[in-house]
Structure 1
Amino acid sequence: MVKIIAEIGSVHDGSFGNACKLIEAAAEVGADVVKFQTHIANEETLKNAPSPSYFTDEDRYSYFERTSFSLNQWAKLKEIANKNNLSFLSSPFSIKAVDILESINIDAFKIASGEVTNLPLIEKIASTKKEVYISTGMSNFKEIDQALNILKSAPYLTVMQCSSIYPCPPEKVGINVIELMKSKYSNIAKIGFSDHTLGFAAGISAIVKGAEVIEKHLTLSNMMYGSDAANAMEVDKFKSFVKMIRETSIIINSKIDKNDISDYKEMKKIFEKSIVASRNIPIGKIIEIEDLNFKKPGTGISASKYKSVINQKVKKQIQVDQLLSWDDLE
């Protein structure tokens, strides 16, 4: 079954109450995993580090300080997730953040796209021997290979195609990369897709191409504050997204034997055609094509057998529109 990750990111905006509600929403939409980001401002960024173009309302250092959670709060969030039958996942952005997440016995780690070249962080995560997901939104294969060389001993590893564009336009999704990743990494990892588009099509396309894990941002409302909410999917739409992903997975993995038509036995009787008399046919007449018509139901001699009926001699009187039977013929 495809694993679905509901990415909370920073949608909670530092509100512990909202974070709890978002976990409950992740369970409600049918996700398998809920994911957060663990930021410690002074451990991961300089105060004068530039912000992305979509982050304009406050500097990120202040934002990370304002929106971070305490150790006890992280522990409580994990507890709530697990009570809702969700695995609890977070992306640490510093070595200290790894320590915090390890202290609450986090279920798995996610390496964010911007951390793929942060090899000290990756080495720290690898040392935990936990399950690891790695996004690749701004890395080439050389950088990905370098990271995976460290992570290859992880008990469970998922490499995720991703494009770090918010929102991601259809032409930048890179679904073709999933097949490349499968050919390169399937011996050490599952392949997934981190979806930054606003719609449904990219995630479904990823499943068709063989992705086994789908991640998408979840929000309670697109009007919530912060850089993530506007590009995330609201609860009702996310439910539909999950339903589509599940159905797509069933479709792909359900093989049909086209020669086994037993499921259609009754439908064939209703919709297919039988051979009927186009006119009254007397005893002794040799059947011609003009004597025949082809009508529902499909309970008599199949229309496909009409050549076997032509030139047969009639041994019983046949009325117009009567279904022909082999018993009527010599």
Structure 2
Amino acid sequence: MRELSIDGRRIADDADVYVIAEIGHNHQGSVEKAKELVRAAHDCGVDAVKLQKRDNRSLFTRDLFDQPYDHENSFGATYGEHREALELGHDAYVELQGYARSLGLGFFATAFDEPSADFLADLDVPAFKIASGDLTNVPLLRHVAAFGKPLIVSTGGATIEDVDRAVDAVRPLNDQVCLLQCTAAYPAAVEDLNLQAIATLRDRYPDLVVGLSDHQDGIAMSLVAYMLGARVIEKHFTLSHTWKGTDHAFSLMPEGMRKLVRDLRRVPDALGDGVKRPLDIEAKPLEKMGKKLVAARALGAGHVLGPGDLAARSPAGGGLPPYALDGLLGRRLVRPLEVDEAIHPTDVEPVAEPAVQATREGA
């Protein structure tokens, strides 16, 4: 059975979807903004918040670290300065972790390198996220898997062989793995989401939880993902699309996240049990909209019913349904009917066939 537990929260096909608000670096390097995002995410009803952790000096080549990075979304003159300005340190993480826990939220981060993974392990985070870019980074996968905590692994830009390699690297050390279908584009167009890959991953790994890292800028595709079997949904989260930074434009704001969580929680109830049956709440509307058979005109006793004598008119109830019409035609009324008066089974009798009548008279 595919099942995962994060901070005591069970994630499985028969459990509620696990929703992660990806804060990433949308906090802009500010602890206070990060706390605002955590609080807003909690108010939206998510299960967890997630940051991104990088050890920038060891992660990037010197050329990339020193590369000029001067544009409207830059927080530094070079790419390294930009990344350092967005990075939160130990004390900030401790403060945010405590704040999230006080709200009952899961709190963890993407580890982009081994020092960052060690940093998060020292904080005793309940899970680790692996970004799509590290799906082929087997050394990092093994390093993180060895901590024995659940791994949520994005699969953007991957072949199925890449996914197999990652799973094979992790499983001997740790079987608590969740695979996220992902399109590594920011934002991702609807036509590039390839949500059917969720079913592919579920079929290929029948004992692993599968989810979606959704970079599309709406909420509907996550609901489709749920219907395909995704039980973890990760969405980027911000408080303003106008804030400085590249991720804000496609991140959900609180109203969007609230609606997403609401709708995801509604899906199991909406699916029901599959038994087709009338519901009590349908009775009154269907009585008004439905129809019964009534006399289309005044009909006398002894009249043999023919086409046009009866009509299907609203409201339903207190008479025979329209599907009974064929069984009434050719029968004789035993009492008169006024126009629009409902007809009942006791209002008609069979008409004796002439041959049968002649036989009786001869006898």
SS at match of 1:227: coil
**Residue of 45, 55, 63 corresponding to 1:48:** 63
Aligned mates of 1:18, 1:217 — CA distance in 2: 15
Q: Say if 1:289 and 1:53 are closer, same or farther in 2 by CA, change over 3 A.
A: farther
**2:140 alignment partner in structure 1:** 121
Report the CA distance between 1:208 and its aligned residue: 2.7
Report whether the alignment pairs 1:167 with 2:187: yes
**1:256 alignment partner in structure 2:** 274
Report whether the alignment pairs 1:284 with 2:299: no
Report whether the alignment pairs 1:319 with 2:338: yes
- For structure 1, which runs of at least 5 residues remain unmatched after alignment? none
Aligned mates of 1:240, 1:23 — CA distance in 2: 17
Aligned mates of 2:98, 2:322 — CA distance in 1: 66
Q: Is the 8 A contact 2:155 2:163 kept in 1?
A: yes
**1:72 alignment partner in structure 2:** 91
**Residue of 288, 295, 300 corresponding to 2:313:** 295
Amino acid of the residue matched to residue 276 of structure 1? V
Of stretches 159-168 and 317-326 in structure 1, the one that deviates more from structure 2 is 317-326
Aligned mates of 1:273, 1:56 — CA distance in 2: 64
Report whether the alignment pairs 1:135 with 2:154: yes
Report whether the alignment pairs 1:274 with 2:289: no
Structure-1-length-normalised TM-score? 0.91
Report whether the alignment pairs 1:112 with 2:131: yes
Amino acid of the residue matched to residue 265 of structure 2? R
Aligned mates of 1:267, 1:229 — CA distance in 2: 45
Deviations 1:189-216 (A, max 9, x none): 1111111122223323322322111111
Q: Say if 1:265 and 1:53 are closer, same or farther in 2 by CA, change over 3 A.
A: farther
SS at match of 2:332: coil
Q: Is the 8 A contact 1:277 1:321 kept in 2?
A: yes
Q: Is the 8 A contact 1:207 1:249 kept in 2?
A: no
Aligned mates of 1:146, 1:154 — CA distance in 2: 14
Report whether the alignment pairs 1:178 with 2:193: no
Q: Is the 8 A contact 2:73 2:245 kept in 1?
A: no
SS at match of 1:221: coil
SS at match of 2:178: strand
Q: Is the 8 A contact 1:272 1:297 kept in 2?
A: yes
How many pairs does the alignment contain?
A: 327
Report the CA distance between 1:21 and its aligned residue: 0.9
SS at match of 2:64: coil
Of stretches 107-116 and 305-314 in structure 1, the one that deviates more from structure 2 is 305-314
SS at match of 2:162: helix
**1:12 alignment partner in structure 2:** 27
Q: Say if 1:290 and 1:170 are closer, same or farther in 2 by CA, change over 3 A.
A: closer
Q: Say if 1:235 and 1:262 are closer, same or farther in 2 by CA, change over 3 A.
A: closer
Amino acid of the residue matched to residue 179 of structure 1? A
Deviations 1:252-292 (A, max 9, x none): x423322x224334444322221111222222222223322
Report the CA distance between 1:175 and its aligned residue: 1.5
Q: How does 1:143-292 map to 2 (within 5 A)?
A: 143-152=162-171, 153-187=173-207, 189-251=208-270, 253-258=271-276, 260-263=277-280, 264-292=282-310
Amino acid of the residue matched to residue 317 of structure 1? P
Q: How does 1:73-88 map to 2 (within 5 A)?
A: 73-88=92-107
Report the CA distance between 1:56 and its aligned residue: 6.5
Q: Is the 8 A contact 2:35 2:96 kept in 1?
A: yes
Aligned mates of 1:19, 1:47 — CA distance in 2: 29
Of stretches 56-65 and 172-181 in structure 1, the one that deviates more from structure 2 is 56-65
Q: Is the 8 A contact 1:294 1:303 kept in 2?
A: yes
Q: Is the 8 A contact 2:217 2:251 kept in 1?
A: yes
Percent identity between matched residues is 27
**2:52 alignment partner in structure 1:** 37
SS at match of 2:333: coil
SS at match of 1:192: strand
Report the CA distance between 1:155 and its aligned residue: 4.7
Q: Is the 8 A contact 2:73 2:244 kept in 1?
A: no
Q: Root-mean-square deviation (CA), in Å?
A: 2.3
